[in-house]
A and B are shown apart, each in its own frame.
Chain A
Amino acid sequence: MTAVASRGVRGWLGNHAVLIFGLLVLLYMFTPIFVVVLMSFNDPVGRLGYDFAGFTLYNWKNICEPYQLCESVGNSIKIALLATGLATVLGSLMAYAMVRHYFRGRGTANLMIFLPMASPEIVLGSSLLALFVNANLAGQLGFWTVFVSHVMFCLSFIVITVKARLSGLDPRLEQAAADLYANEWQTFGRVTLPLMMPGIVSAALLSFSLSFDDFIITNLNSGQMITFPMFVWGSAQKGIPMQINVVGTIMFLLALGMVLGGLLLRRIRERPTA
């Protein structure tokens, strides 16, 4: 009886091994997120509350209570939006030029665009600082120096992502547009850009999260300004306020919402209507 049962269990395990491993990996990946969500509802006993002591909605109702928390989040969002905006426009155009046009130094440009991605952030950050100081901007370190730095490192990621999308795009589509009386601008606007869009959107999302998340380069070049990662780092010295988990949870939900929204949109678009 037990022999039969154990064989049954073993057989079941054998058949579902891949599934079980997959779930374990997912669990491993999601544990930190679960902890963040859970801790956002924590009612800590003391200031150093890393234990879950009790459930409360207080953190959610008083997000901005810790000094400079909301200000730092605001700074981070502002920088991430602006840097992503500029880097996306520049990067997409650069990618277009590098895929669709032949020019002197195209190969070199292709290689150079990889360098910021490949060099360690701490090196980039310190050399930027040296640059700003040498340019007599030491007194003006802050929002704009961080913005410039973020555009710089986001650019590589955007060029690479959009280039990948463009390389997979049949150039005959653009030739067909030209053949059908669309001039260069119309061809770009009606055919190339819409087809590049999925690449541009994912590049922008990636860039936003890279910028929002960045600590090393920002910390070196921000002067008196505080961004969210810097705030978290600073408060970690004295005890992390639970509201940080609330911000983390909101960011996670926003990202999730965007991904699901994108999926849903694509489903709707691709559904035959006739």
Chain B
Amino acid sequence: MASRSGSEAAPSRLGGGADLEIQGVTKRFGDFVAVNDLSLNVPEGAFYALLGASGCGKTTTLRMVAGLERPSAGRIVLGGDDITGLKPYQRPVNTVFQSYALFPHLSIFENVAFGLRRTKSKEVKTKVGEMLDLVQLQDYAQRRPAQLSGGQQQRVALARALINRPRVLLLDEPLGALDLKLRRAMQLELKRIQTEVGITFIHVTHDQEEAMTMADTIAVMNAGVIEQQGTPSDLYGHPRTTFVANFLGQSNLLPGTIRDRTGDEVTAEVHGTKVLASHVTSDVREGDVWVGVRPEKVTLHASGEGHRDGQNRLPEGEVIDVSYVGVSTQYVVRLPFGQKLMVFEQNTGERPPFTVGDRVDLAWLADHTFLLDARQDAHAGADLDDDA
């Protein structure tokens, strides 16, 4: 254990992470409530993503964990210790900032060594060398940040934080400034490094694909509260709110009414057609619901053809738009009651694609149906995923 300026929380030199608990934390800026009574639990060693549109409070949450903002109420507990009142430099937590915030007056070597020098760590040279190896920047040690590309700067920021072996590493939109290709490469790289060092990562992002690629657990945030948290497949397959259904991927939401329920099997009626939903996890038990299904889970059949048992089927749709996007074809189908549905079909070539004006039936599995409380706005979160 290395000693440090604040003796309260010496950083663990044993590697590994620690459980992070956020207990009922609220943050107000004047009258504006950025984070509202938020509680979450990040288990040790997890890769945890806070996903949300800009202004949803995710960065504020991260900054409170880092100690850069003070909660208006609530507690932050790390590995059993209450760190709510500690200064940023007293916490065994490091941050990769969105803009990287590399020190422009210091070389890459000194940037990476910054934390070690403060904690009077031994063998600075060896450790910095190893860390630069890990992020593949050994040859750049004597350069200045301004002489590096965006991707290289990003890796320096990561190295500068990781070298301190924090118990929790916070990443604030770490890949936001990179172009698409580099972002993809860095996502895999970050995941690899996290697995290698075993430190708890908390990753703030507005990019749902990024969150799904990297995180074990995703918490979707909206307006200062967590809408839902779970594994990527859990969130995607069983969204609990319309916001999650629309923000994470795309969803078709049809108005329906519950007719029957046995265990986790629910039968709902959508404009006179019975639709079965199995493995329903949401709390809605009766009354009006949104019946949801993902566009790629729906298959199209020529009107009246291709019946299969156990499938939900909405008949008599009309194809009103077809766009070919290489790997798939995206259809917009209008149902007899006027609602438009999106359908993505793989271009397997099994049958010729439909064209505008074709009459089609839509089919999908009961397993792929989810039910949401009808009191929610069906369009919540629909147009948010690409901003920020």
Please give, as numbers and ranges, the residues of chain B lying within 8 Å of A175 by CB-CB distance: 66, 68, 88, 97, 101
Please count the residue pairs between chain A and chain B whose beta carbons lie under 8 angstroms apart in the complex.
Answer: 75
The residue that A180 contacts in the complex, of B68, B140, B164, with Cβ under 8 A, is B164
Q: Which listed residue (A176, A194, A195, A272) contacts B97, Cβ 8 A?
A: A176
A173 at the interface (CB under 8 A from B): yes
- Partner-binding segment picked from A54-62, A128-136, A181-189: A181-189
A61 to B386 CA separation, bound complex (whole angstroms): 75
Partner of A181, one of B5, B68, B144: B5
By a CB distance below 8 angstroms, the chain A residues around B303 are: none
Q: Which residues of A contact B93 (CB under 8 A)?
A: 179
Cα A234 to Cα B6 in complex, Å, equals 62
Q: Is B4 an interface residue (CB 8 A)?
A: yes
In angstroms, how far is the closest chain A Cβ from the Cβ of B376? 37
Given contacts A176-B97, A183-B89, 20 further A-B contacts (CB under 8 A): A170-B101, A175-B97, A178-B68, A178-B88, A179-B88, A179-B89, A179-B93, A179-B161, A180-B89, A180-B94, A180-B114, A180-B118, A180-B164, A181-B5, A181-B115, A181-B118, A181-B164, A183-B87, A274-B141, A274-B142
Do the beta carbons of B139 and A274 come within 8 Å of each other? yes
Q: How far is the CA of A172 from the CA of B101 in the complex (A)?
A: 6
Size of the B side of the interface (Cβ < 8 Å), in residues, is 33
Q: Contact at A195–B104, with CB atoms within 8 Å?
A: yes
When A and B form their complex, which 5 residue pairs have the shortest distance between CB atoms, in order from nearest? A181-B118, A176-B101, A180-B115, A274-B142, A178-B88
Indicate with 1 or 0, residue by residue over B75-119, a CB within 8 angstroms of chain A CB atoms: 000000000000111000111010101111100000000110011
Residues of B with C-beta under 8 A to A194: 105
Q: In this assembly, does A273 line the interface, its C-beta being within 8 Å of a C-beta of chain B? A: yes
Q: Which residue of A lies closest to B120 (CB)?
A: A181
In this complex, the interface size class of chain A, counting residues with CB under 8 Å from chain B, is: 20 to 34
24 A-B pairs (CB sep. < 8 Å): A172-B99, A175-B66, A175-B68, A175-B88, A175-B101, A176-B95, A176-B97, A176-B101, A177-B103, A177-B114, A178-B87, A179-B88, A180-B118, A180-B164, A181-B89, A181-B164, A182-B89, A182-B114, A183-B5, A183-B89, A191-B103, A194-B105, A195-B104, A274-B140
Give A residues with C-beta under 8 Å from B: 170, 172-173, 175-183, 186, 190-191, 194-195, 270, 272-274
A267 to chain B, nearest CB (A): 13
A274, B66: Cβ atoms under 8 Å? no
